[in-house]
Amino acid sequence: MKALVFLLVLANFLFYAFAGGYFGHPGNPDAGRAEQQLAPERVRIDARGPNQTAKGAVEAAQRPAEPEELCLRWDHLAAAEADQLASALAEKFAGVRVERRPASADGAAWWVLVPAQTSKAEAERKAGELKQLGVSDLFVVQEAGPNQFAISLGVFSSEKGGQERLAELRAKGVKSAKLIPRPGKEPQFSVEARGPLAKKGEVQEFAEGVVTKSSAQGCK
């Protein structure tokens, strides 16, 4: 009799525990899974494969740095001219970096030029003809001497550089240019200016009013 009572009590206890959920939820085993998900609508799936992701990282690493937007150079300047130009540019343009450099100093240089003309007017006429042929890097020599009113087309530290310049001029149709050795005189300097591209035209125009014997070129 005691055993029967014990079994009835045990059965009631088990039924009560089962009904209270102490043994888990019956029925569909997937029940409650949705409750366990953390904001499923915010889950994003990256469709890119590992190769595509790695490729993007490599391309970003190999992308070259942005170059200097503006770099202008003036060559063949005497010390006083270089000092004057560098100081004027630095004072006028706060966002432009200016550097004055000594040019290569050889005992003799090579000079490409159109020989001296009979007058300044004749030299300027000849310079206009050269510009029509696409030659813009030139100036008329003003100093008194055997080369006054010659048209300078470049000074080079080696004969090879002069010959290359002469060949370039020949290709443009310039027949009167010559290459001659030129003894070294006073030391020469160059001035470089680097900064925002938007300032290029303004810097060039300003420099033309400071030095007249050298025109701006792109940096090498």
Please state, in angstroms and rounded to a whole number, the distance separating the CA atoms of residues 83 and 190.
10
pLDDT tens per residue, range 49-76: 555 555 555 565 565 555 557 899 998 8
Structure tokens at 220: 């090498």
State residue 75's pLDDT score.
Answer: 87
Higher pLDDT, 218 or 173: 173
Strands 139-140 and 151-156: what pairing? antiparallel
Mean pLDDT of 105-132: 87
121 — pLDDT class (breaks 50, 70, 90): very high
State residue 4's pLDDT score.
Answer: 62
Residue 170 forms beta bridges with which residues?
Answer: none
Q: What fold does the segment set 70-103+187-220 form as a domain?
A: Alpha-Beta Plaits (3.30.70)
Please state, in angstroms and rounded to a whole number, the distance separating the CA atoms of residues 204 and 94.
15
Dihedral sign computed on CA atoms, order 44, 45, 48, 50: positive
Task: Provide the 10 A C-beta neighbour count for residue 28.
Answer: 8
State residue 99's pLDDT score.
Answer: 92
Please state, in angstroms and rounded to a whole number, the distance separating the CA atoms of residues 93 and 203.
8
Please state, in angstroms and rounded to a whole number, the distance separating the CA atoms of residues 39 and 123.
83
Domain 109-181 sits in CATH at 3.30.70
User: Is residue 18 predicted with pLDDT exceeding 60?
Assistant: no
- What is the share, in percent, of the chain residues with pLDDT greater than 70? 64
109-181 matches 70-103+187-220 in CATH topology: yes
Report which DSSP code applies to 31: T
pLDDT tens per residue, range 135-177: 989 999 998 888 899 999 998 877 788 899 999 999 999 999 9
Please state, in angstroms and rounded to a whole number, the distance separating the CA atoms of residues 81 and 84.
5
| CB burial string 36-61: b at 16+ within 10 A, e below | eeeeeeeeeeeeeeeeeeeeeeeeee
Where are the domains positioned within the chain? Answer: 70-103+187-220, 109-181
Q: What is the torsion angle, in degrees rounded to the nearest 10, for the CA atoms of residue 201, residue 87, residue 183 and residue 216?
A: -10
**Residue type, position 103, single letter:** A
pTM of the model: 0.39
Structure tokens at 92: 């006028």
- Please write down the long-range contacts of 11-20, taking CB distance under 8 Å and 24 or more positions apart: none
Please state, in angstroms and rounded to a whole number, the distance separating the CA atoms of residues 111 and 155.
4
